[in-house]
A and B are shown apart, each in its own frame.
Chain A
Amino acid sequence: MRWINRKPSPGVRTLLMLAPFVLLVIAYGLGSMARLADNPSDKLLPALGTMVDAINRMAFVPDVRTGEYVLWSDTGASLGRLSIALGLSTLIALVTGMVVGMLPYVRALLAPFIATISMVPPLALLPILFIVLGLGETAKIALIVIGVAPAMIRDLALRVQELPREQITKAETLGASSWQIALRVVLPQILPRLITCLRLQLGPAWLFLIAAEAISADSGLGYRIFLVRRYLSMDVIFPYVAWITLLAVIANFALDRLRIAVFPWSNLEAR
């Protein structure tokens, strides 16, 4: 049998799925043990036990100075910024993407402009944002929106234009106005794509969030990582990175489930 036709059984599939994760942990464990055997006070690859202590300290023991549970307050701050920024981006992208995709006049006006804006490296704008908007939340949220929204707008506008012309014509023969077509034909078919688009932008959004927090913040996951970096506290940084990854994976999965639950037709196989 050819390799392209061999498929793993469900059990094997689960095993294969877990293998790289397990291998990564084992490789880390071996590396850590080797380094710690040479130098017990090595900080670069702390033992798993040390990391568990760090997690315990960050998550379940109140901070002596502020009385807060650091991991949770950091997570709350970061997720707050992220959700406001992504909510704004989604709203902007939906409205702009739809009018750009549907109306030739708006497309002529805005499409080249948005294409240009989306080429501006957002991180290069960060100093300007901090100077203009101050060091508070606004600048961080603005960075994420600037980094994420143009790509979302372009993607959605393209999706709108990709809708078969026949569908729009059909709606017109059913007597629909532009507004009605937007509401009943374009919008519902674009929403599942909007969710997918949002999923794809989770990675960049986290990148901009951590960049902004690293430079100026007083809480947040990125802030913490860049704070403890000064003490070479890898035992904190590694769990934080894993936690951020886990949050992103959960958000990605939840958004996809949401799409299937709300728009069941979007998961039916296209004919």
Chain B
Amino acid sequence: MSEIVFDNVWKEYGDQIVLEKISLSIASRAFVALVGPSGCGKTTFLKMLLGEEAPTQGQITIDGVPLVAEPGPDRGVVFQRYSVFPHLTVLGNVMLGKVFRAAPVTARLFGAARRAARDEAMALIAEVGLAGSEDKYPAQLSGGMQQRLALAQALIMRPKVLLLDEPFGALDPGIRADIHVLMKRLWHETELTVVMVTHDMREAFTLGTRVIAFERPRDRPEERERYGALLSRDIDIWPPRIAGAPLSNTPDQDDLVAPLGHGQDDLAPTQGG
């Protein structure tokens, strides 16, 4: 399992305090949505969880083990942009994690090993609704399809934690609603704890089991440098969403945006969501 604990974490850049006194514990298989105004440290929080940044004070642990200050295969990530490799096809992008694991020196797979990795990747590609686009390059995909690809690419590693940094922020509402459905299904079907940064309240409440808000309580210009953002709200969604047990009575989709079926995201016809 994968319980994430922040123990009195502070983050400072030089004199600038960004985050203060962050203490929280994220249960295994939760779907946490981080919201807050721009510049309140949401992305910094995610970067610490990712291992790109180390906390100035305090400690982050996953299952009691302190986090290494380096990104690793136990934590998958999808960014708003640049999440996929432009020089690899859809299949190449999804297979890459498998290849890294199996071939430390050549970073390439051949023969049976390659076929196995290929089959697994193909299944995952179909799962996210990209069947038929295996040989396309990311630049030939729409924004929504690129994010689906990024999800598949991250999930093939079977990470314990999936970090999402405004992953659907650049998509238009219809496509975003479709990908929300996919995201929920993946969360239900995979052993995943998800932490998602978003600036879209609706998205936070549509997807999350728990919504956490960061805010700077002292935001006057003369205070801004010495006081960082605090954890200001921590809301558990009611009725509780439980991973692996989709509720029939809460809509998985933003209700105002009616699904328009195929075509809106140029999906391959085999896509079922």
Give chain B's interface residue range (CB within 8 Å of chain A): 35 or more
Among A170, A172, A265, A271, contact of B70 (Cβ-Cβ < 8 Å)? A172
Tell me if B99 is interfacial: C-beta within 8 Å of chain A: yes
Q: Give Cα distance in the complex from A211 to B56, angstroms.
A: 58
CB-defined contacts of A183 to chain B, threshold 8 Å:
106-107
Contact B140 A170 (CB under 8 A): no
Contact indicator A266/B87 (Cβ below 8 Å): yes
Report the bound CA distance from A143 to B83 in whole Å. 42
A164 to chain B, nearest CB (A): 4
Closest to B81 in A: A166
Q: Smallest CB-CB separation from B105: which chain A residue?
A: A179
Q: Are A175 and B87 in contact (CB under 8 A)?
A: no
- Decide yes or no: A166 and B83 within 8 Å by CB, A173-B76, A184-B107 being known contacts: yes
Contacts of A266 in B (CB 8 A): 87
A172 with B71: CB separation less than 8 A: yes
* B50-A173 in contact (CB<8A): yes
- B139, A268: Cβ atoms under 8 Å? yes
User: Is there a chain A Cβ closer than 8 Å to B104's Cβ?
Assistant: yes
Contact A173:B72 (CB < 8 A) given known A166-B82, A167-B85, A184-B99 = yes
Are A271 and B139 in contact, CB atoms less than 8 angstroms apart?
yes
- Majority secondary structure of chain B interface residues (helix, strand, loop or mixed): loop
Contact of A270 among B50, B75, B97, B139 (CB under 8 A): B139
Partner of A180 from B79, B85, B100, B153 at Cβ < 8 Å: B100
Identify A173's interface contact among B81, B101, B137, B159, CB under 8 A: B159
Q: How far is the CB of A104 from chain B (nearest CB, A)?
A: 14
> Could you count the A-B residue pairs with CB atoms below 8 Å apart for me: how many are there?
90
Interface residue tally for chain A (C-beta within 8 Å): 27
A189 contacts partner chain B, Cβ-Cβ < 8 Å: yes
List residues of chain A with CB within 8 A of the CB of B72. Answer: 172-173, 175
CB pair A173 B157 closer than 8 Å:
yes
Question: Smallest CB–CB gap between A136 and chain B, Å?
Answer: 40
- The residue from A172, A175, A176, A189 contacting B86, defined by CB atoms under 8 A apart: A189
- B107 pairs with A175, CB closer than 8 A: no
Chain A, Cβ-Cβ closest to B74: A173
Instruction: Specify which chain B residues have a CB less than 8 angstroms from the CB of A185 in the assembled complex.
Output: 85
CB closest residue in chain B, given A268: B139
Q: Are A164 and B81 in contact (CB under 8 A)?
A: yes
Residue B91 is within 8 A (CB to CB) of chain A in the complex: no
Kindly identify which residue among A176, A177, A268 contacts B137, using a CB–CB cutoff of 8 Å: A268
Q: Is the CB of B87 within 8 A of A263?
A: yes
Q: Is B154 an interface residue (CB 8 A)?
A: yes
Complex Cα spacing A164 to B154, Å = 17
B143 at the interface (CB under 8 A from A): yes
A188 within 8 A of B: yes
Identify the closest chain B residue to A180 (Cβ). B107
Known contacts A174-B157, A175-B72, A268-B139; 9 additional CB pairs below 8 A are A169-B52, A170-B83, A174-B73, A174-B154, A177-B100, A188-B88, A270-B139, A271-B138, A271-B143
